[in-house]
């Protein structure tokens, strides 16, 4: 039997809260917080993450099945909605709990290769071409 909508929402909210707690601790930044739902113009689950002055969109997932393509597509849409540099997905790993800081630290972070290149390039536009 699958999750009910109520338990799925509860699992998602717990993943968001634990991710915020972990990032506040790891980055020593109490400005990081959960975002309110914004419907079609959603800008991700977590606000307050910046890299070299650029916003980072974080979409949290605590799903029974990883749907990497769909989750990354959602993060990219939300990145655009927020005019952010990078969109990432924080995905709960099966069998690794989120109750402890160590468990939360072991969850997955997924992003596109373009986002990864932007991160490695310190947020500077990629390549030598203007496009």
Q: What would the pLDDT profile of 10-29 be if each residue is shown by its tens digit?
A: 999 999 999 999 999 999 99
The number of domains in the chain is 1
pLDDT score for 69 = 96
Residue 33 contacts residue 47 (beta carbons within 8 Å): yes
Residue 127 domain flag: no
Res 1: pLDDT: 57
- pLDDT confidence of residue 124: 84
pTM given for the model: 0.89
Q: Are 46 and 12 in contact (CB under 8 A)?
A: no
pLDDT of residue 128: 66
Residues spanned by the domain of 52: 5-120
**Within-domain flag for 116:** yes
In a domain, 129, yes or no: no
Cross-strand partners of 81: none
Tokens found for residue 69: 């393509």
- Answer whether residue 111 is part of any domain: yes
Would residue 131 count as lying in a domain?
no
- Chain centroid to Cα 20, Å, comes to 10
Per the domain annotation, does 130 fall within a domain? no
Q: Please state the rounded mean pLDDT for residues 58-63.
A: 95
């Amino acid at each position: 039997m699958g999750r009910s909508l109520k338990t799925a929402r509860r699992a998602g909210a717990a993943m968001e809260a634990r991710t915020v707690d972990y990032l506040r601790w790891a980055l020593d930044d109490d400005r990081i917080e959960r975002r309110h739902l914004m419907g079609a113009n959603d800008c991700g689950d977590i606000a307050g993450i910046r890299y070299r002055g650029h916003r980072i969109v974080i979409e949290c997932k605590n799903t029974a099945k990883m749907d990497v393509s769909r989750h990354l597509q959602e993060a990219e849409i939300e990145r655009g909605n927020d005019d952010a540099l990078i969109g990432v997905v924080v995905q709960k790993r099966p069998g690794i709990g989120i109750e402890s800081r160590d468990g939360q630290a072991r969850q997955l972070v997924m992003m596109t290769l373009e986002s990864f290149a932007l991160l490695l390039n310190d947020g500077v536009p990629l390549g030598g071409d203007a496009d």
